[in-house]
């Protein structure tokens, strides 16, 4: 059975381990590099996953093992706090195809909508990552632009698609 919950500072080591696995598995989809992720201290990682009014990180657990993650963040500034950004979606390869990424996206979406009153979600995805694009499209995201050369990995540039999902109508226009 898979459990989805907000991560807490005590999950920092598990989060860092899974992020390193994500970098190794999908280096053209995950920022930062392995070296940059390894350089983060436990305290920095704990602060990164601590839920606040502008950030939340969800984990998928198979028993006590963290097998999937995604984050959501928003700016605190009044003119842009109506939107939130999904980041770092990753599920261990042996747990894929079980609806875990969908459940993580649903948890992040609910959090942004219910707790932050967000009216839209944004994300970026490697333009060549067809599986991820299909996942996001199935969750209601649509592409609104492409950033050329958004990421450089091993001397090769990769484009990123910018996607958006409307959660509701703005309160005022």
Position 169 scores a pLDDT of 67
| Confidence (pLDDT) at 170 | 58
DSSP-derived 3-state class of residue 63: coil
Residue 173: the pLDDT is 47
Look at strands 156-166 and 120-126 and give their pairing: antiparallel
pLDDT value at residue 144: 95
Q: Does domain 2-166 have CATH number 3.30.470.10?
A: no
Across the 173 residues of the chain, what is the mean pLDDT of every consecutive 10-residue run?
A: 96 96 88 89 95 97 97 94 95 95 97 94 95 94 95 93 87 49
Instruction: Identify the pLDDT of residue 109.
Output: 97
CA distances from 150 to 36, 123, 141, 161 (A): 18, 13, 19, 9
Domain borders along the chain are 2-166
Separation of alpha carbons 45 and 71, rounded Å:
13
Total number of residues shown for the chain: 173
């Amino acid at each position: 059975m898979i459990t989805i919950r907000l991560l807490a500072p005590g999950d920092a080591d598990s989060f860092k381990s899974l992020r390193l696995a994500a970098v190794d598995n999908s280096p053209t989809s995950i920022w930062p590099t392995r070296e940059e992720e390894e350089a983060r201290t436990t305290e920095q990682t704990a602060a990164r996953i601590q839920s606040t009014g502008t950030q939340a990180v969800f984990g998928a657990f198979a028993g006590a093992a963290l097998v999937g993650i995604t984050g959501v963040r928003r700016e605190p500034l009044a003119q842009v706090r109506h939107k939130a950004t999904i980041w770092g979606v990753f599920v261990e390869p042996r747990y894929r195809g079980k609806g875990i990424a969908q459940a993580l996206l649903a948890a992040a979406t609910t959090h942004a909508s219910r707790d932050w009153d967000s009216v839209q979600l944004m994300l970026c995805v490697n333009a060549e990552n067809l599986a991820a694009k299909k996942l996001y499209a199935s969750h209601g995201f649509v592409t609104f632009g492409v950033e050329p050369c958004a990421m450089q990995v091993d001397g090769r540039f990769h484009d990123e698609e910018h996607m958006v999902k409307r959660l509701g109508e703005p309160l005022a226009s």
